Amino acid sequence: MRIVMLGAPGSGKGTQAQRLQQDHQLPQVSTGDLLRRAVADKTPLGLKAKATMDAGELVSDEIVLGMIKERLAKPDAKRGFILDGFPRNLAQADSLNAVLAELGQKIDTAVLMDVDFEILMKRLTGRRTCSKTGQVLNIYFSAPAELEACKKAGGELVQRDDDNETTIRNRLQVYERQTAPLIDYYQKRSLLKTVEATGDVNDVYARFKKAVGLK
Ligand code: AMP
C-alpha cells in the first residue's frame, strides 16, 4: 500500500503516519525528518538546507527528490510506504509518479488531513519534543502529567527551530501557495480521501485507517 499524506504543517500527518507504521509495518517516509537528520549530522546537504528550513521555505526539488529516490529504493519500502511531507508541490508530485513508474508502482491513496487554521496555529506554536524520550507533546493540548513525565525522566521540552511564530506563518503561506494545489491534483486522479483531523487522536486514527481501506 502506497499512501501520500497531504495537509498543512501541524495537521497531524506525522503522528498518524507513525501510528500506521507501527501497526502495519509500512515505513513512514518523512522528508522533514530526513532533512532534520542531515542538519543535525551537519552533512553538506544539511548545511545547505538549514537556512531554507529555518525560514519556512521549501528546500530545492532536486535535494528532496534525491533523498526520496534513495529512501524508496530500500528493501523495507518494497511492500509500500507512507509519504509524509512529500510531495510538496506539483513538480514533486509529477517526479514522484515518474520515480514510481520506473519501479512499476503507483500511489493508492492521497489522504488530506483537514484541520482549521486556528487549531493549526496552536498545534504548531505549542509543539515541543521531549529531549529524553523523543515524544512529541504540546503545551496547550498534552496532559500536565505527560509534560511533567518528560522532566521527571530528565528531559527538556524542546521547540523545533522552525516552530517559532514568524516561520510558522510563512510555512502556512507556503503550504497554501505551493502544496494545497495537490489536493486538486489527486482529486482529479480519483485518489483523494479527506479525513476530519481534529478531535481525539484515536478517533482521527480510526477515520484515517478507514480512508486508506484498513480495519
Ligand atoms: P516538515 O517536517 O514536513 O514540516 O518539514 C520541515 C521543513 O523541511 C519544511 O518547512 C521545508 O523547509 C523542508 N521540507 C520538508 N519536506 C520538503 C519537501 N518535500 N520539499 C521541500 N522542502 C521540504
| 68 Rama class: left (phi>0) / alpha (psi -120 to 50) / beta | alpha
Residues involved in catalysis: 13, 88, 127, 160, 171
List pLDDT tens digits, range 137-170.
999 999 999 999 999 999 999 998 889 989 999 9
3-state class of 108 per DSSP?
coil
List pLDDT tens digits, range 31-76.
999 999 999 999 999 999 999 999 999 999 999 999 999 999 999 9
* Separation of CA 53 from chain center: 14
Eight-state DSSP code of residue 161 = G
pTM of the predicted model over 0.85: yes
Pocket mutation for ligand 1, best pick of 15, 53, 69 (most atoms within 8 Å of C-beta): 53
Residues with CB under 6 A from ligand 1: 9, 31-32, 35, 52-53, 56-59, 64, 85-86, 88, 92, 162, 171
Ligand 1 geometric centre to CA of 53 (Å): 7
3-state class of 110 per DSSP?
strand
- As its CATH architecture, domain 2-115+179-212 has 3-Layer(aba) Sandwich (3.40)
Going from N- to C-terminal start, the domains of the chain cover: 2-115+179-212
